[in-house]
Amino acid sequence: MTFLKLGLASALALGLAACSNTTDTAAVDPNAAGGTISETSLQYFNTVVGDRVFFDTDSSALDLTAQETLTRQAQWMQANASTTAVIEGHADERGTREYNIALGARRANAAYNFLVSQGIDGSRLRTVSYGKERPEALGSDDASWAQNRRSVSVVTGAPVS
């Protein structure tokens, strides 16, 4: 029993230690080592604005984080009026092929509707679903699956960096 307690305690300690990374130390410094990322660039969109939002299992509901990200996307696209985007909906591998295509379509459509509600012209957006065909994370565990349940906005018409 003592070993159990020790084990639990050390696991707890390790787990808590993982939380000690504060966000302060990971601040993105756009001016660090090597030049500026243009705010109109694709890289900026993908890394700063955030090109993707994530979903719960079997769901196409946008949580708060997703809505914030999409809001930033909409703002960026307002600022970069010549850009267009294809919104790709995806699903994790824990479902069947056809249903996952349909689910991905729902997710892409949810992102589309939100962007349109933020003032983006629908003609600048297209939606497509890849179902479970293009996973981002290759593992078969909850963390990987969470990364794969996503809607990604692929922007065209912007400089790369």
Partner 1 sequence: MNRSVILSGGLHLLLILILLFSGQIFSSDEVRAIQIAEVDIITGEEFDAAQSAAPDAPREVLPDLTPPEAGGSDVVAPDAVEPPSAQAPDAPEAPATEAAETAPDVSAVRDRAQVTAAPEPAQPSQGEPEGASSVIAPVGPTAPETARPTIAPSLTRPAPPRPAPRIADTPAPPPPTDARTADTATPEVAPGETAVEPQEEKPAEAPPEAATEIVPEVAEPVTEPEAVAPLTAARPRGRPDVQTAEATPPPAAPETQTETQTAAAEPVRAATPATQARPAREAATPRPARTPDVPVGAPLTAREKDGITLAVKKNWNVGPFQGRPDFRELIVTVRFELDQAGNVLGGKVEPVTPASPSGPYKLAYDAARRAVLRSAPFRMPPEKFGRWKVVEITFNPSKGIGY
Partner 2 sequence: MRYLFCILALVAGAQCAAAQEPLRIEITDGVIEPMPFAAPQFVAADGGAQEVAAQLTKVMTDDLVNTALFRLIPQAAYIGRAEGADATPQFPDWRAINAQALVTGSVASTPDGRIELQVRLWDVFAGGPVGEGLRFVGDRQSWRRLAHKAADMVYSRLTGEAGYFDTRVVFVAESGPKGRRNKQLAIMDQDGAGLRTLTQAGELVLAPRFAPSSQTILFTSYRSGEPRVYLMNVESGAVDQLDRLPGMTFAPRFSPDGRRVVMSLSIGGNTDVYAVDLGSRARSRLTDSPAIDTAPSYAPDGSQIVFESDRGGSQQLYVMPAGGGGATRISFGQGRYATPVWSPRGDLIAFTKMQGGRFYIGVMRPDGSEERLLTASFLDEGPTWAPNGRVLMFFRETGGANGGPVLMSVDATGRNLRRVPITLAASDPAWSPLLQ
Binding-site ranges for partner 1 (CB under 8 A) = 1, 4-6, 8-9, 12-13, 16-17, 20, 22, 24
Longest dimension (CA), the chain: 66
Residue 105 binds: one of partner 1, partner 2, none (C-beta under 5 to 8 A by kind)? partner 2
> Which one of residues 62, 77, 103, 115 is an interface residue with partner 2 (CB under 8 A)?
103
Give least dist CB 2 to partner 1, A: 9
The residues, ordered by sequence, that sit 6+ positions from 95 with a Cβ below 8 Å of its Cβ are 58, 103, 132
- Burial of 64 per CB tally in 10 Å (0-12, 13-18, 19+): exposed
- Asked if 49 is part of the footprint of partner 2 (rule: CB under 8 A), the reply reads no
Helix (H) or strand (E) holding 143: helix 142-148
Q: What would the x/- binding string for partner 2 be over residues 104 to 143, using CB under 8 A?
A: -xx-xxx-xx-------------xxxx--xxxx-xxx---
